[in-house]
Amino acid sequence: MSSTDKPTNFLQNIISEDVQSGKTKQLVTRFPPEPNGYLHIGHAKSICLNFGLAQEFGGTCNLRFDDTNPEKESQEYVDAIQKDIAWLGFEWNGEAKFASNYFGQLFEWAQHLVREGKAYVCELSAEESREYRGDFTRPGKNSPYRDRPAEESLDLLDKMKDGELAEGSASLRAKIDMSSGNMNLRDPVLYRIRHVSHHNTGDTWKIYPTYDFAHGQEDSIEGVTHSICTLEFQDHKPLYEWLLESMPVPSQPRQYEFARLNLNYTITSKRKLKALVDSGVVDGWDDPRMPTIAGLRRRGYTAKAIRRLCDMAGVTRSDSVVDLGMLEFAIRDELDKNAPRSMCVLRPLKLVLTNYPEDKTEVMTGPYHPQRDDMGFREMPFSRELWIEQEDFREEANKKFKRLVIGKRVRLRNAYIIEADAAVKDAAGNITEVHARIIENTVGNDPEDGIRAKGVIHWVDAPSAVSCAINLFDRLFTHESPGSGDEDFMEQLNPDSLVELKGCYSEASLAKAEIGKGFQFERQGYFTRDSRSEDLVFNQTIGLRDSQGKFNS
């Protein structure tokens, strides 16, 4: 992120003023994911923002896992999150940090709140707590345990910590204002009992702090100067500040909110994404149809394209929905400029060149990129039998069809012009072969008889072709805003979001295609080798053109 090549956003303005005034000696930001799922495209904006601001202003950015909810967290998610951030091109300050590293200090501060008369142990049931809390139309009422002596609350808090009280039987609550119009200030829960193992602390703790209690104090311990959150935490800010002011914390960070990245035709709720995984709708968090960083990477999206989307979306205080086509434009534009070209036949049809010698093989050459001389050329064997696309041949067609028709000519990409003579069919009437003739001396030349080809089709040499499988993808949801209103997002899945093609054929050079490298299959789209298959499988990253017509490279 650089202030020299794009408009300055409000966070850059705030930080610049703080640095220039001396209020901030060194900028410290943080990215604080909960390890309860894989990162998604919405997280990418927060990552780019927090790490980008630190880079721009010569500061540091911490990676801190807010692991306060052990039932839903795991080491798998911790590892995946670190991998995604590094892949996006960012490096966090020092070792990765964990909320669980501070559990001892947080508990001492909780005791401090009780001693100061600012917190108490409440024994209302969950149902009773909801009733006492009130709602947006009526104020809450004080818990009958609100004014219990501090010594009694401290004793109960120790019993909670030592596992002597059952789950749900008690909680530690802040003593703020049950009549507040901000529901977050109605004596929020600070600690709850959980008799479960933690991925980092094992069975040491029987109580765990809430996110609201832990977050600001973690920021303070780490010396975070600017705690940058999405707008959903705006209503939590008064509680964030109240807690910091009520405890002997080492520093006073400030919270600032920005609008999260929302894409249409996409869900970014980790709960819903997990439901897709658990129900088998997708084959994991890194399914190429998923909006996770891992899924986008497996599909062939690049870190550069994702960062570009975040730049294009901008940083504002107003929530909005970004068209998914913007992300598709970013990757299509990058691959168009940088992806080497190759040929692959997805639905093969045998083409026999009847006037080409059976024992002859030539080597055709083609550029790896038509506008990139620095990428060089590739060699492609050419012989009597080739594979072409089924859709590139018709026995009869009107003038709008610019591909192979009996009695008409087309050019084979980087090779001869050919003319079709006949179609061979099986007993059911299906075309199994096309017979055609090469027009001599037309490699790189027009035919001597002046009858030019009407179009160009791609091909693969049959003897040297490599068999592969192709996964074609469409958007996972048919609805622009999946799950909105009372709709069930599971009922809005696109049944054609994945088409698996077997028995495809590619140029021999693709047998050793590098995982993570993007290719343009000429006339087909952009593809990358699947990272989870031991066989040769290519995932479609994006088509050659924007099918929605909104973004054009």
Active site residues: 34, 260, 270
In this structure, the number of other CB atoms found within 10 A of the CB of residue 199 comes to 17
End-to-end CA distance of the chain: 23
Distances from the Cα of 203 to the Cαs of 146, 161, 196, 336, in angstroms? Answer: 30, 11, 7, 53
* Closest residue by Cα to residue 544 from 553, 535, 536: 553
Question: Is 527:541 a contact under the CB 8 Å cutoff?
Answer: yes
The 10 Å Cβ neighbour count of residue 110 is 23
The amino acid that residue 227 corresponds to is S
Helix (H/G/I), strand (E/B), else coil: 469: strand
CA distances 534 to 307, 313, 347, 414, 511, Å, are: 30, 37, 22, 31, 12
Give the residue among 27, 1, 31 at the shortest CA–CA distance from 15: 27
Cα Rg for the chain, rounded, in angstroms? Answer: 31
Both tokens of 299, joined, read: 């599909």
The number of C-alpha atoms within 13 Å of 5 and in the hemisphere containing its C-beta is 6
- Helix (H) or strand (E) run with residue 468 in it: strand 466-473
Please enumerate in sequence order all residues whose Cβ is within 8 A of that of 215, keeping only pairs 6 or more positions apart, or say none. 32, 66, 227, 240
> Looking at this protein, which amino acid is placed at residue 338?
N
Give, in order, the Cα–Cα distances in Å from 218 to each of 199, 335, 385.
19, 41, 67
Report how far residue 397's alpha carbon sits from residue 529's, in angstroms, rounded to the nearest whole number: 35
439, containing H or E segment: strand 431-439
